[in-house]
Structure 1
Amino acid sequence: MLAKLFDLFSAQRAPAGYRPGVTLELLRRNLGMDSFHLLEAGHAEFDLGAAGLRVQVSERTQAQLLMHVVMTEFSLQVPAFEQGEVRFDLHHTGSLKRTGIRCRYRSGDKALFEVVSKRLLGDARLNAALMPLDFKHLSIECGHNGWTVTLEHMGGSEVVNRMPAFRRYVKLSGEQKTLLENTLMALQRVLLAG
């Protein structure tokens, strides 16, 4: 209960020292993509692959005592050919070592979840990209506007401490950048295959 109150309070205002858009600028340099454009403070987009997959990126802050973390969320919109609404997450299995990928149902049409999760887990290229990808959270949602995929990577984020004062950007390595691109393109391909 106390954690929920803290989350509610901290969600209403930005942490002290948060500079909207700074982390995205560091991410832009890190990714080295010509198509990366800042839309407004805290929001950007870029095109990925020959098909021109449009990826939205936004900053999300998480306040802690005397520090905060600015994480980047990558999201994409994919048209939905299936009917229904569903929300679920993908995550790694295994406690010490990654052993696989699992879909966790959150809400909505259970039958649609079963069909789509079977397609996602059965795709070899998607699993090859997801297994070594260092992501914190990956959610997939289907609604009136189609599929929305939101992926939060462990890299591409900034840690800001007030005491002692320091800022540190956590880079996306070249391998993780490639895995992220492959994952997003594979998710689009599999979701469109319905």
Structure 2
Amino acid sequence: MVIATLRQKLFELLRADRPPTGYRPGVTLAHLRRNLGLATLQVNGFAFEIVERTESQLLMHVVMTEFLLQVPASAGGTGRFEVHHGGAIRRNGIRVRCRSGNPALGRELQARLQADDVLLQALMPLDFKRLRIELQDRQWSVRLEHMGGSEVVNRMPAFRRYIALSPVQREHLLATLAGLQRVLSTL
């Protein structure tokens, strides 16, 4: 009975759906909005959204922000793709990995990303952790998680640090979102 009680207490303590201790919803988003310097989340006539996501570790957590972009697709189909930089030491291109759906669509997506010089010039120096592109119900969904615009919160020793987007990364990020909107709207 004691072991069952301890197991239940441990489960409640480590529950995944519970926010981490010290998490302040919306604070990192407020820092990022000030950091971006935009009155609205619109650039060159297209709108995007920003959401927070937490990742818990032992005595700390990280609050990351994801930039979301929705683009109507010109054709149907489904697919989930991950975009990342190529090269082990130096970035030497963009690679698209097909996670599900039509592999030919993934090859076409990679060709279009490589062919758009403006997008490629913005995407290559961009320090992103994840870039996911999904096609479903004639709608492209882009989720871009940048290395900046996040907050590290440690409980022992207690500290909290916002990692800002540099002005150069800010410009690359906004140019990447605009380029992805342009490329995906024709695909």
Q: Structures share a fold, TM > 0.5?
A: yes
Map 1:82-97 to 2 at 5 A.
82-97=75-90
Q: State the Cα distance separating 1:111 from its structure 2 match.
A: 2.5
Q: Which amino acid aligns with 2:152?
A: V
User: Which SS does the other structure have where 1:11 is aligned?
Assistant: coil
Query: 2 CA distance for matches of 1:104 and 1:71?
Result: 23
Q: Which amino acid aligns with 1:20?
A: P
Q: Once the two structures are aligned, what percentage of the paired residues are identical?
A: 57
Gaps of at least 5 residues in structure 1 are: 1-5, 36-45
Aligned residues: CA RMSD: 1.4
Query: Which runs of 4 or more aligned residues in structure 1 lie more than 4 Å from their structure 2 counterparts after TM superposition?
Result: none
Aligned counterpart, 1:78: 71
Gaps of at least 5 residues in structure 2 are: 1-10
Deviations 1:13-45 (A, max 9, x none): 11111010000011111111111xxxxxxxxxx
Q: Which amino acid aligns with 1:96?
A: I
Query: 1 CA distance for matches of 2:133 and 2:49?
Result: 15
Q: State the Cα distance separating 1:117 from its structure 2 match.
A: 2.3
Aligned counterpart, 2:18: 13
Q: Is the 8 A contact 1:10 1:63 kept in 2?
A: no
Query: Given the alignment, which residue of 5, 30, 33 partners 1:28?
Result: 33
Q: State the Cα distance separating 1:95 from its structure 2 match.
A: 1.6
- How many residue pairs get aligned? The number is 175
Report which structure shows greater RCO (CA 8 Å, sep ≥6): 2
Query: Given the alignment, which residue of 21, 33, 42 partners 1:47?
Result: 42
With the length of structure 1 as denominator, give the TM-score of the two structures.
Answer: 0.86
- Give 1 or 2: higher strand fraction: 1
Aligned counterpart, 2:6: none
Aligned counterpart, 2:164: 171
With the length of structure 2 as denominator, give the TM-score of the two structures.
Answer: 0.89
- Name the larger-Rg structure: 2
Moved more, 114-123 or 98-107: 114-123
Q: State the Cα distance separating 1:151 from its structure 2 match.
A: 0.1
Q: State the Cα distance separating 1:145 from its structure 2 match.
A: 5.1
